[in-house]
Amino acid sequence: MDNIHDAHEARSGMIAIVGPPNAGKSTLLNCLLGQKISIVTPKPQTTRNRILGVLNGSNYQIVFIDTPGLHTPDQPLNREMVKIAMDSFRDVDAVLFLLDTKKIVSRKKAETAGPEKYLAKVAVPTFLLMNKIDLVSKEELLPLIAEYAKVYPFHGVMPISAKKNEGIDVIVEEIVKILPVGPKYFPEDIPTDATERFLVGEIIREKVFLLTGQEIPYSTAVVVDNFNELHNMITIHASIILERNSQKGIVIGKGAHKLKSIGIAARKDIERMVGTKVNLNLLVKVKKNWSQSSAFLKELGF
């Protein structure tokens, strides 16, 4: 992706990746960067915080902002997540609005009010990305593209498959064309502004999402209590926070089997990220209705 040479001058800019829950925003970010920065699960509202991913080319630097899914909020946590997503429109150079093409086709109705509703005040170039085209036919896709092109003045419409890495080069090419000339924001060896501590918490939360039932994930938060590096070994103590006592047994499992599985899966990913051995210690705690507590949400960084 670094063979784009529109100008001799270096270009750089901030690009927001937005869209409804489960559209594939985090998968797209990871695909663009060629490495895992943002956690991915099949469950809605996996991404809760704004996550930056940095892509460097020979004459450009693109800082992508992965955001929580845009939806109608009904709880304090939901409201904070939507606020984070909407705030990402500020001070960016372009917006990628991502839609799940397969979901739209299965509903047999394009939700054309979505882009207009969220993008009404956006004053920068906005690209519509029709994701998951590997799951629909061209006969289904083309009318959708035409329909969405009518409801909002998109700078461009791009059919892609983030999971299959289809159309990704085109995204980068189109973004570079509209980037302003300017210095790079980050050193080239920094793929994200997220701390290792934050990423560790996200990895653990991802494994809880993937390895437990439907009722658990949304009620899960992870707090990294201690992160200590000594003698080529990182020791991490983290707490998995749940909202109800009834959820505790599900996460721990019989004979602590489920918690061990979560710990093993998380430790492997963390070791890949930090490049050294990790000793991971997990505790499960209950903080009743934490997702509705403004004070605790502040502790989590919202």
- pLDDT tens series, the chain, 302 aa: 444 444 467 899 988 888 887 888 888 988 998 888 775 655 555 555 567 788 999 889 998 888 765 545 455 555 665 565 556 667 789 989 898 898 888 876 555 556 777 777 788 898 999 999 999 988 888 888 888 888 888 999 999 999 999 999 999 999 999 999 988 888 887 777 777 888 888 889 889 988 887 666 667 889 999 999 888 899 999 999 998 888 898 899 999 999 999 999 999 989 988 888 999 999 999 988 887 777 777 777 65
The confidence score (pLDDT) of residue 23 equals 85
The confidence score (pLDDT) of residue 71 equals 47
- The whole-angstrom separation of Cα 65 and Cα 190 is 15
State both tokens at 227: 């992160």
Nearest to 211 by CA among 264, 278, 268: 264
Contacts of 50 (CB under 8 A, 6+ apart): 65, 66, 67, 84, 87, 88
pTM of the model: 0.68
The confidence score (pLDDT) of residue 178 equals 93
- The whole-angstrom separation of Cα 116 and Cα 147 is 13
Element (H, E) at 252: helix 245-252
- CATH no. for 196-299: 3.30.300.20
- The whole-angstrom separation of Cα 270 and Cα 280 is 9
- C-beta separation of 278 from 233 below 8 A: yes
| Domain spans, the chain | 11-178, 196-299
The confidence score (pLDDT) of residue 6 equals 44
Name the amino acid, one letter, at 85. Answer: A
Candidates 3.40.50.2300, 3.30.1380.10, 3.90.1260.10, 3.40.50.300; correct CATH number of 11-178?
A: 3.40.50.300
